């Protein structure tokens, strides 16, 4: 059984390829319904997001936490640091995933990460989670680089377990493959 789904924010459940701050952020159609579907299936819904604007004083962690909890997330994991800070939580580090696993007593091999950037998938792979790339936000660019190149820099060894058109499709895949059958099969890749 899938225990939890870690979901990136910007470009995955709404917004675009750049950060949109609380108050300006708009969810994609049916994102709230998809979050609710995961919860009804008994799956924890956890955020998994880098937000360097916090370190710059543009927004606060509380602003992001309120927003994400208001969307129905069960818990919020975010990295507030600048990319040059050298922290253990910033993706592609699996720090947020490991922290959540300790806090919620999760087996990360029974968890899924949904994101639009290769850094999301890198963190998932290092933690042993299933990886779903969505083609929204920066996802189409990441997908094209993955599809058209044998080598994608240091990330060449990362293969998504699924590629979805959007967040709703990713949740559908999880519900159909994970909740229904009780597990997901790694390396089952959808490419359209």
CATH classification of the domain holding 10: 3.40.50.1000
Q: Is residue 192 part of a domain?
A: no
Q: Is residue 98 part of a domain?
A: yes
Q: Is residue 189 part of a domain?
A: no
Nearest residue to 15 (alpha-carbon basis) of 163, 171, 168, 137: 137
**Residues noted as catalytic:** 8, 10
Determine the structural domain holding residue 94 and report its residue range.
4-179
Q: Is residue 97 part of a domain?
A: yes
Give residue-wise pLDDT tens across range 58-80: 999 999 999 999 999 999 999 99
- How many domains is the chain built from? 1
Q: Is residue 143 part of a domain?
A: yes
Q: Is residue 13 part of a domain?
A: yes
Q: Is residue 186 part of a domain?
A: no
User: Which pTM does this prediction carry?
Assistant: 0.88
Give residue-wise pLDDT tens across range 169-182: 999 999 987 544 44
């Amino acid at each position: 059984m899938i225990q939890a789904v870690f979901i990136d924010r910007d470009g995955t459940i709404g917004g675009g390829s750049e950060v949109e701050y609380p108050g300006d952020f708009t969810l994609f159609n049916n994102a709230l319904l998809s979050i609710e579907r995961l919860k009804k299936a008994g799956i924890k819904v956890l955020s998994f997001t880098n937000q360097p604007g916090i370190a710059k004083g543009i927004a606060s962690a509380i602003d992001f936490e309120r927003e994400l909890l208001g969307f129905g997330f069960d818990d919020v994991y975010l990295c507030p640091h600048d990319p040059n800070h050298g922290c253990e939580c910033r993706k592609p580090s699996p720090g947020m995933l490991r922290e959540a696993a300790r806090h919620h007593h999760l087996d990360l091999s029974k968890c899924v990460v949904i994101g639009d950037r290769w850094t999301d998938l890198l963190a998932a792979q290092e933690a042993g989670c299933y990886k779903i790339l969505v083609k929204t936000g920066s996802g189409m660019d990441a997908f094209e680089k993955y599809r058209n190149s044998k080598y994608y820099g240091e990330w060449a060894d990362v293969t998504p377990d699924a590629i979805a058109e959007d967040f709703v499709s990713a949740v559908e895949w999880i519900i159909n493959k994970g909740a229904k059958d009780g597990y997901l099969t790694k390396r089952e890749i959808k490419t359209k």
